[in-house]
């Protein structure tokens, strides 16, 4: 079974631009979560999408948004980029079972550099 | 809120040495606990997990036991190899269905294994 895939793998943008990152979950997984990883702040939860609806949200400004499509693929958008948005953005997928004991599987990440 | 505390790194060991990476947590309810590993330039790989007290997760010679009384989930391996050099993250997710997909991570511990 194929793992979580993320595109693009690397991206360079300039301040003020916007960017869209894409994530395809493991087949059959309906939940997609996004995380930001930086040397200073570590791994931080951005948001989770399930059945095309945002279910949970971390403590990030409104410039960070996302969506999920009917095939469970998800996109994350960051508008008006700032230098501090330079990070590795990780996507994770899970089944989101009713029992609540989830295991998340991560993709390779998209490394964003903002100049 | 939830939090995870890991020992500071880097941890430098000789090949075949015994490894312990300490992890303690603070959480409400009954979280699930995880160890993820990140190799240079890659995303996170699930190493092992435990979903209830006294469970032992194990994989590739690594083990960790969910200790509710000490709120700990220490990672151990009896004999490390150079190929184990990576950053190790301890993480928890809340037990209830609504937020089970939101992981809280520790800061990560870098392991360097030398010949």
pLDDT digits (tens, 9 = 90+) for A87-97: 999 999 988 76
Regions of chain B where pLDDT drops below 70? 95-100
Regions of chain A where pLDDT drops below 70? 1, 97-101
Contacts A–B by Cβ distance under 8 A: 71
pLDDT at B51: 87
For residue B45, cis peptide bond before it (omega within 30 degrees of 0): no
Name residues 6-45 of chain A within 8 A of B (Cβ).
6, 31, 33, 35, 42-43, 45
pLDDT at A1: 67
pLDDT at A27: 94
Averaged pLDDT of chain A: 93
pLDDT at A56: 87
Q: Is A45 exposed, middle or buried (0-12, 13-18, 19+ CB in 10 A)?
A: buried
Q: How far is A39 from chain B (nearest CA, A)?
A: 9
| β-bridge pairing B75-77 and B86-93 | unpaired
Inter-chain CB proximity A43 and B103 less than 8 Å: yes
Inter-chain CB proximity B101 and A109 less than 8 Å: no
Assign A66 to helix, strand or coil.
Answer: strand
Contacts of residue B80, defined as CB under 8 A and 6 or more positions apart, other chains included, come to B13, B15, B16, B17, B18, B19, B111, B113
Which residue, among A87, A102, A76, has the nearest Cα to A44 in the 3D structure?
A87
pLDDT at A36: 97
Alpha carbon A5 to its chain's center:
11
Q: Looking at the partner chain, which of B89, B93, B108 has a beta carbon nearest the beta carbon of A102?
A: B93
pLDDT at B64: 98
Residue B43, Ramachandran bin (φ over 0: left; ψ between -120 and 50: alpha; else beta): beta
For residue B87, cis peptide bond before it (omega within 30 degrees of 0): no
pLDDT at B10: 94
Residue B68, Ramachandran bin (φ over 0: left; ψ between -120 and 50: alpha; else beta): alpha
Q: How far is B46 from chain A (nearest CA, A)?
A: 7
């Amino acid at each position: 079974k194929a793992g979580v895939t993320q595109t693009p793998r690397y991206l360079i943008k300039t301040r003020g631009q916007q960017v869209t990152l894409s994530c395809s979950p493991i087949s059959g997984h309906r939940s997609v979560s996004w995380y930001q990883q930086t040397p200073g702040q570590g791994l931080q939860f951005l948001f989770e999408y399930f059945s095309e609806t945002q279910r949970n949200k971390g403590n990030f400004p409104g410039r960070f948004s996302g969506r999920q499509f009917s095939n469970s693929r998800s996109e994350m958008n960051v508008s008006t980029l700032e230098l501090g948005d330079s990070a590795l953005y990780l996507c994770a997928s899970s089944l989101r079972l009713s029992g609540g004991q989830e295991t998340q599987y991560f993709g390779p990440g998209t490394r964003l550099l903002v100049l | 809120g939830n939090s995870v505390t890991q020992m500071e790194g880097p941890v430098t060991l000789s090949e075949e040495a015994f490894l312990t990476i300490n992890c303690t947590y603070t959480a409400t309810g009954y979280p699930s606990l995880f160890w993820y590993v990140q190799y240079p330039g890659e995303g996170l790989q699930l190493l092992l997990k435990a979903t209830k007290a006294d469970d032992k997760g194990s994989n590739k010679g690594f083990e960790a036991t969910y200790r509710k009384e000490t709120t700990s989930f220490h990672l151990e391996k009896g004999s490390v190899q150079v190929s184990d050099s990576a950053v190790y993250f301890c993480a928890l997710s809340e037990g209830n269905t609504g937020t089970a997909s939101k992981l809280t991570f520790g800061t990560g511990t870098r392991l360097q294994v030398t010949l």
